[in-house]
Structure 1
């Protein structure tokens, strides 16, 4: 029975993490509007490219409604793209469409780095919230180290995005920014998930000897 329970956890946890992020459709919602913006801009202007990007985001939102899925991720995507489009159109600088994303990556890199540095790794809190374990991992040194390393990993991934894309932003290379954002979006995120899973899997929670319900293990 214990083995079966473990199998169930291994089977269920990755979809749960993807669900929290909106699934493949949710990830596409965050990347394709930027692709559309970068693809249209060379042939039009900032305002037209911004409108196209917002339209793509709206189409995704409508698709979720038609499929009777939760519109939460679609709405957040529309708001994010709409804000980026507003910044670009208002400033008259096409590269400013990518400015909110750059600032967000900088913030994520800083938060993950600080949380790991003070031994309160954000990855631990995220995984603990997703699997219902809470903060019990803080009393387990091997798992605390694993979550700390994973948090440093995510800080590095967000920092890498910033290191590559910021010079392109400063240079006003809109098309190159769109390519870099797409190339470093889903692939880099998937790599982060995989490496995090491997780090955490090595130090799964051990069941307690006391009877009664037990917190699920972390994958």
Structure 2
């Protein structure tokens, strides 16, 4: 073999080896750079907790020292400021406006009834509705989390025929029902006791923390169902 042929063979061999290495290198770097979002990130992260609690804190604090009409005005101003801030951060329009609509409905009820505690009445009845829907879905053997899982996977999975999957979604849906039920019982009791301040505390404490706990159970049920029904 001549010197030229040896150089040619060596060059071809180097190219064959270097091509996979070139492809493998970026793949490793990309995988290292990409981080899977946590459950808290998917729920809005720390800022999501701030968005949900700040209007409540502002309303209760203002109501403690100011007349109700001024409290309503300040709450609306804070809601508008939060909306502008969220839109400025590039959040989705629907998410940012949804928070403002919630504040608007709450203070609208307060303006209509003239009672500060009615700022929380919408959340109380929504908790009751959530409990009724989720608990009823378990009673009719169609737990709501399983229905949602099935829709996510095309809507044609026989998940109810798998005892393990059905049991997992019974547990997950009951966990969600327990969160809704606890919120309704505690807040309704505080509402009847005319305790606006403690209603705010209950809303904060029983808000994002309990939602995260319930979401962890639902996530477990989703993964368990996927393992038994899909895999």
Normalised TM-score (structure 1): 0.78
CA distance in 1, matches of 2:41, 2:168: 21
CA distance in 1, matches of 2:69, 2:96: 22
Secondary structure of the residue aligned to 2:190 is helix
For each residue in 1:49-81, what CA deviation from the matched residue of structure 2 results, as whole angstroms up to 9, or x when unmatched?
A: 222222222222112221222121121111111
Indicate the structure whose relative CO is greater, using CA pairs within 8 Å and at least 6 residues apart: 1
Partner of 2:118: 96
- State the superposition RMSD in angstroms: 2.5
Match of 1:132 among 150, 153, 159: 153
Alpha carbons of structure 1 residues 198 and 66: separation in structure 2 relative to 1, 3 Å? same
CA contact (8 A) 1:125 1:135 kept: no
CA contact (8 A) 1:57 1:74 kept: no
Instruction: List aligned pairs for 1:1-219, cutoff 5 A.
Output: 19=42, 21-22=43-44, 24-129=46-151, 131-136=152-157, 137-206=159-228
Normalised TM-score (structure 2): 0.75
CA contact (8 A) 1:113 1:155 kept: yes
Show structure 2 runs of 5+ residues with no match: 1-34
Alpha carbons of structure 1 residues 73 and 25: separation in structure 2 relative to 1, 3 Å? farther
Between the two proteins, the alignment pairs up a number of residues equal to 196
User: By percentage of residues, which structure has more helix?
Assistant: 2
Show structure 1 runs of 5+ residues with no match: 1-10, 208-214
Alpha carbons of structure 1 residues 44 and 189: separation in structure 2 relative to 1, 3 Å? same
